[in-house]
Amino acid sequence: MRILVSDSISEKGIEILRKEGGYQVDVKTKLSEDELVDIIGDYHALVVRSQTKVTRRIIESARQLKIIGRAGVGIDNIDVDAATERGIVVVNAPEGNTVAATEHTIAMMLALARNIPQANQLLKNGKWERKKFLGVELRGKTLGIIGLGKIGSGVAKRAKAMEMKVLAYDPFISEDRAQRLGVELVDFDRIIKESDFITVHLPLTKETYHMISWQQFEAMKPGVRICNVARGGIVDEEALYEALKSGKVAGAAIDVFEQEPLTESPLFELDNVIVTPHLGASTEEAQVNVAVEVAYDIIAGLRGEPVKNAVNIPSIKPELLKVIQPYVDLVEKLGKFISQVSEGHIKQVEIKYNGEMAQYDVTSLTNTFLKGLLRPVLKDAVNYVNAPLIAKNRGIKVYESKSVELEDYANLITVKVTTDKCEKSVAGTLFGKNEPRIVRIDGYTVDAVPEGHMLVIPHIDKPRIIGPVGNLIGALDVNIAGMQVGRKVIGGKAVMFLNIDAPVPEETLKEIAKIDGILDVKYVHL
């Protein structure tokens, strides 16, 4: 397996990929999109920071790519939708650089308040200038934080220590959490109107693009100072420039830009602007943290093991993994099984978890079930990353439900498929040493091993059914390894489940279907 690292990351991460993963790692930075398109087909994993733009074109040229690792937080440089469609896992390192970005924000705020970069530059140019650089104190000032996530919270804590009044706007954060941070949770307008300093700590999305623009600058307090250590594009650079020029905004500290790298900008010409070239995460510690974190997820992803920080599939914490891991094989088999016994176009699937496992997040199991369901038709084009998306695109409604109530077993997973022609349900559980068993087919109780070649034969419960079926299979010289019959009432409908040692040709299936009392015959291969 080959890994391409296309932005510079800490050697520690590369060492882990080479030594612990045993992979060939090529570090090739500053590649153009065309260059990446040319070489990406040779790689199984790609590691980037924010500089490489992982476009749809690159992703569509990546024949063997299984995982993209972002050694950092922001994934706005990766076309995650394109990756998901192709079944490529995207992972990031969401916490490794939080402190670095938090401290950089505080450093920028202090530097802005006290004109440190400007004074430094002048003195080094031989000018002892004191009058020009009259700063302001942070103590007693109102700081407005937009986005109270990991970095926003870190900034809040430090700002409180500097005796600032902290307001925050984040519709996804609870009042309780804000209170614990000593922060007043307010609406966006209040932040804009009342703050002396405004700092943004949000992802760049359609909603946050130009969230601070002409109208917001207009509504701000005169003399406000702005910090952006999150993402270029959240603050409208053109509107900011005008607000700075007009004096409405007293200063701005900017680490990130709409276009990067950027070496020329009208903003750079203003004395009241201080800038850094996207250095928020650039500490020794943060770079080691993110590279190591992403390296381990890349190894896990390439080995087909659950990853910790997936962006486009549910991440599985180790404690959850212990609970659900044994069921992964079972749900995939249930998916493949029910897909092969159902006829027609699938409209709806239901998956129900009964028992202890209902307490846990089982999304990854549901995705694995969907992968199993779609696999017989779509083969390798479907995996557990793109299965939910493919199901959605095909108009399949997916319902997941959980109940801690026991249904005969400590844990039971029941799947039901509704097509335009039929409705099928199958339930499975684990026996002994985590051995998958199908225990119900369309409501009939069985104890069937979902493995290899199988025949599922609904029939009328009456004599001279099992014998003729056995004869036809025997005539093929195919061994019957196991047989189960499930029935509800004597003489009513029943289902026969056979484990056989080899496939059964279509003609024999037709012969079996002709036996008096046989209602249907399905050959299933897992």
Ligand X SMILES: O=C(O)[C@H](O)COP(=O)(O)O
Ligand Y SMILES: NC(=O)c1ccc[n+]([C@@H]2O[C@H](COP(=O)([O-])OP(=O)(O)OC[C@H]3O[C@@H](n4cnc5c(N)ncnc54)[C@H](O)[C@@H]3O)[C@@H](O)[C@H]2O)c1
> In the complex with ligand X, which residue's Cβ is closer, 276 or 425?
276
Could you say which of 67, 173, 448, 518 contacts ligand Y (CB under 6 A)?
173
Report CA dihedral (152, 154, 160, 166) to the nearest 10 degrees.
10
278 is catalytic: yes
CA distance 439 to 53: 49
278 in contact with ligand Y (CB under 6 A): yes
CB of 201 to ligand Y, least distance (A): 4
Nearer to ligand Y, 177 or 221 (CB): 177
**Least separation in angstroms between CB 251 and ligand Y:** 18
- Kindly state the number of chain residues that form the binding site for ligand Y, as judged by CB under 6 A: 30
Residue closest to ligand Y, measured at CB = 149
Instruction: Pick one of 31, 48, 101, 240: the residue that binds ligand Y (CB under 6 A).
Output: 101
Question: Which of 44, 86, 201, 278 is labelled catalytic?
Answer: 278
Stretch that binds ligand X, among 162-170, 276-284, 380-388, 403-411 (CB under 6 A): 276-284
Contacts of 148 (CB under 8 A, 6+ apart): 156, 168, 169, 170, 173, 177, 178, 181, 183, 185, 201
225 near ligand X, rule: CB under 6 A:
no
Whose Cβ is closer to ligand Y: residue 17's or residue 256's?
256
Interface with ligand Y, residue 201, by CB under 6 A: yes
What single-letter DSSP state applies at residue 381?
G
- Reported residue count of the chain is 526
* Tokens found for residue 521: 């015959």
Residues 55-94, one symbol each (x = binds ligand Y by CB under 6 A, - = not), give ------------------xx--------------------
| Using rule CB under 6 A, residue 255 touches ligand Y | yes
Report if residue 233 touches ligand Y, rule: CB under 6 A: no
As a whole number of angstroms, the distance between CA 101 and CA 43 comes to 31
Distance CA(213)–CA(192), nearest Å, equals 11
- DSSP secondary structure letter of residue 7: S
From CA 117, how far away is CA 110, in angstroms rounded? 10
Print burial letters for 429-441: b (CB count within 10 Å at least 16), e (below 16). Answer: bbeeeeebbbbbb
Neighbours of 147 (CB within 10 A): 23
- Which residue lies nearer to ligand Y by CB, 128 or 172? 172
For 430, the 3-state DSSP assignment is: strand
Q: Compute how many residues bind ligand X; rule: CB under 6 A.
A: 12
Specify the residue, 67 or 227, whose C-beta has the smaller distance to ligand Y.
227
Q: Which partner, ligand Y, ligand X, none, binds residue 207 by CB below 5 to 8 Å per kind?
A: ligand Y
Cα separation, 132 vs 471, in Å, equals 101
Counting contacts by CB under 6 A, is residue 261 touching ligand Y? no
Kindly write down the DSSP assignment for every residue of 237-284, as one continuous string: HHHHHHHHHHTSEEEEEES--SSSS----GGGG-TTEEE-SS-TT-SH
Pick between residue 73 and residue 253 the one whose CB is nearest to ligand Y: 73
Subset of residues 48 to 107 that bind ligand X, contact rule: CB under 6 A: 49-51, 71-74, 97
CB 78 within 8 A of CB 48: yes
**In this chain, which stretch among 81-89, 168-176, 278-286, 437-445 interacts with ligand X, using CB under 6 A?**
278-286
Q: Which of 44, 66, 201, 278 binds ligand X (CB under 6 A)?
A: 278
Number of C-beta neighbours around residue 303 at 10 A: 12
In whole angstroms, what separates CA 424 from the centre of its chain? 31
> Closest separation between CB of residue 286 and ligand Y, Å?
8
- Please tell me the distance from the alpha carbon of residue 316 to that of residue 139, in angstroms, as a whole number: 42
When CB distances are held under 5 to 8 angstroms depending on the partner's kind, the choice from ligand Y, ligand X, none that residue 255 binds is ligand Y
Residue identified by tokens 């209902």 is 358
Q: CA-to-CA distance for 453 and 458, rounded, in angstroms?
A: 17
Interaction partner, residue 49 (ligand X, ligand Y, none; CB < 5-8 Å by kind): ligand X
Phi, psi (deg, nearest 5) at residue 96: -60, -30
CB of 8 to ligand X, least distance (A): 9
Applying CB under 6 A, does 149 fall inside the site for ligand Y? yes
Identify which of residues 177 and 487 has a Cβ nearer to ligand Y in the complex.
177
Query: What is the closest distance, in whole angstroms, from the C-beta atom of residue 255 to ligand Y in the complex?
Result: 5
Contact 90, 112 (CB under 8 A): no
Q: Which residues are catalytic?
A: 231, 260, 278
Binding site for ligand X (CB under 6 A): 49-51, 71-74, 97, 278, 280-282
Binding site for ligand Y (CB under 6 A): 73-74, 97-98, 101, 146-152, 169-173, 201-203, 207-208, 229-231, 255-256, 278, 280-281
